[in-house]
């Protein structure tokens, strides 16, 4: 039940975001005097509507987005009433059209930023200094966290009754103990601990020196066996190694909470990192298509492959099911930011395509004026229709591919 609630809540959050996107277009267009005839949430048959002023507002039967109709978005629109010609969108200055067309993405960015600010004040944002790479992890002090067991194979999975117990737990070590030596060999970092353990054999007895609450002590542990690749070659051949049954407790906090004022700067910094990651993700999309096909045809799903709204909603359901509300809202932030950036790509029929054409017209007119040649006028959108259809076809195929992968082989965060 909690899972279904989470899926529904996340899908509703996406619908609200997209509806606000269209509201951004509508409100800015109205503010500049453009005529907006329709604003609807959803597509398909009309379930309910009313008219206020010159705009009809309503709800459609298929809750998969929304739309607003601005009169005369292009010079080729053939449904403009002669009386509305002076208010046709294409007649307005390029800067006004740019604001109107970018208002949708700005709305998504605003939603992401406000949510991030609230998270920064209430729960904290990810610590940028938190160790994430293997090299950074190995430089951390050897402060341990006990595992429930030692998994014999080289795999990340939950413990079973058949798995050997953690040698560290059997030796009465505790979470937060800092290991300082193994069999007399000094240990300063977590990397030192791993290197020292790799020099021992499974089943061998090890003398563990540690510090707990400022007091030094020793313990004796009989090392278990697991399978791991060489430390200097993570993709190398897996072989049997000794295991103590511990993980690392990082010395830096995973999240940092901020005051209301400091949260603005932290939100800006985090958004900058998110922008870089988003552009890198967009660049990786073409090379991830084969991985999506592999996931659909029975292969393992790569967690770095793109997801659809369906996949995002499923992850939102998992977050609610596991009471991970922070993850739920971070997913909401990431999705809004991604949609905002994607929608500004200079491709028709995206808003970024309309903006790019508007500024191309402006630049071309400026150049022709300097050359004392007649203004070539507006771009003929009809000539761009083949390219637009190609973008729609490719985008539709990609969307279908991601939705299929999210249905038959979804990415999961928590084991269910």
Q: Using alpha carbons, list the distances in angstroms from residue 330 to 7, 123, 305.
A: 15, 11, 18
C-alpha pair distances (Å), 412 with each of 120, 178, 247, 341, 400: 25, 33, 23, 25, 19
In this structure, how many other beta carbons lie within 10 angstroms of the beta carbon of residue 215? 7
CB-count exposure of residue 170 (10 Å: 0-12, 13-18, 19+): middle
Token duo for residue 323: 């009471």
9 close to 80: Cβ distance less than 8 angstroms: no
Let me know: does 106 contact 309? Beta carbons within 8 Å.
Answer: no
Q: At what angle do helices 325-343 and 309-321 cross, to 10 degrees?
A: 160
Q: Is 15 exposed, middle or buried (0-12, 13-18, 19+ CB in 10 A)?
A: middle
Tokens linked to 255: 């999240």
Quick one: the chain helix, strand, coil %, rounded to 5? 50, 20, 35
- Beta carbons of 144 and 173 less than 8 angstroms apart: yes
Beta carbons within 8 Å of 211's beta carbon, 6+ residues apart: 177, 178, 180, 217
Tokens in use for 411?
A: 């990415």
Q: Given the residues 22, 54, 280, 321, select the one marked as catalytic.
A: 22
Known catalytic residue: 134? no
How would you class 193 by CB atoms within 10 Å of its CB: exposed for 0-12, middle for 13-18, buried for 19 or more?
A: buried
Q: Catalytic amino acids?
A: 22
């Amino acid at each position: 039940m909690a899972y279904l609630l989470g899926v529904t809540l996340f899908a509703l959050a996406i619908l609200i975001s997209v509806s606000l996107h269209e509201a951004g277009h509508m409100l800015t267009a109205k503010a500049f005097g453009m005529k907006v005839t329709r604003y609807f949430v959803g597509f398909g048959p009309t379930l309910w509507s009313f008219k206020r002023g010159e705009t009809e507002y309503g709800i459609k039967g298929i809750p998969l987005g929304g739309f607003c109709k601005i009169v005369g978005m292009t010079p080729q629109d053939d449904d403009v009433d002669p009386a509305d010609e002076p208010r046709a969108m294409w007649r307005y200055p390029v800067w006004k059209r740019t604001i109107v067309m970018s208002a949708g993405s700005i709305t998504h960015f605003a939603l992401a930023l406000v949510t991030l600010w609230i998270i920064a004040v209430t729960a904290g944002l990810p610590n940028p200094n938190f160790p994430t790479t293997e090299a950074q992890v190995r430089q951390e002090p050897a402060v341990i966290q006990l595992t429930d067991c030692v998994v014999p194979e080289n795999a990340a999975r939950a413990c079973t009754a058949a798995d050997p117990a953690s040698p560290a737990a059997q030796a009465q070590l505790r979470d937060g103990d800092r290991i300082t030596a193994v069999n007399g060999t000094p240990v300063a970092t977590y990397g030192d601990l791993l290197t020292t353990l790799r020099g021992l054999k499974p089943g061998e007895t090890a003398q563990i020196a540690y510090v707990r609450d400022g007091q030094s002590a020793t313990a004796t542990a009989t090392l278990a066996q697991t399978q791991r690749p060489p430390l200097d070659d993570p993709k190398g051949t897996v072989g049997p190694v000794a295991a103590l049954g511990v993980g690392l407790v990082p010395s830096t906090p995973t999240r940092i909470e901020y005051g209301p004022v400091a949260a603005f700067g932290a939100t800006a910094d985090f958004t900058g990192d998110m922008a870089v990651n988003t552009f890198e993700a967009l660049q990786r999309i073409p090379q991830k298509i084969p991985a999506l096909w592999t996931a659909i045809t029975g292969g393992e799903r790569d967690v770095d492959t793109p997801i659809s709204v369906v996949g995002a909603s499923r992850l939102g359901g998992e977050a609610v099911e596991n009471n991970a509300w922070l993850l739920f809202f971070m997913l909401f932030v990431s999705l809004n930011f991604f949609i905002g950036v994607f929608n500004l790509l200079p491709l028709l029929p995206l808003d970024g395509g309309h903006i790019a054409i508007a500024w191309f017209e402006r630049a071309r007119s400026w150049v022709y004026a300097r050359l004392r040649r007649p203004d070539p006028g507006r771009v003929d959108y009809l000539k761009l229709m083949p390219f637009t259809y190609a973008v729609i076809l490719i985008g539709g195929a990609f969307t279908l591919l991601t939705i299929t992968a999210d249905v038959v082989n979804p990415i999961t965060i928590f084991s269910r």
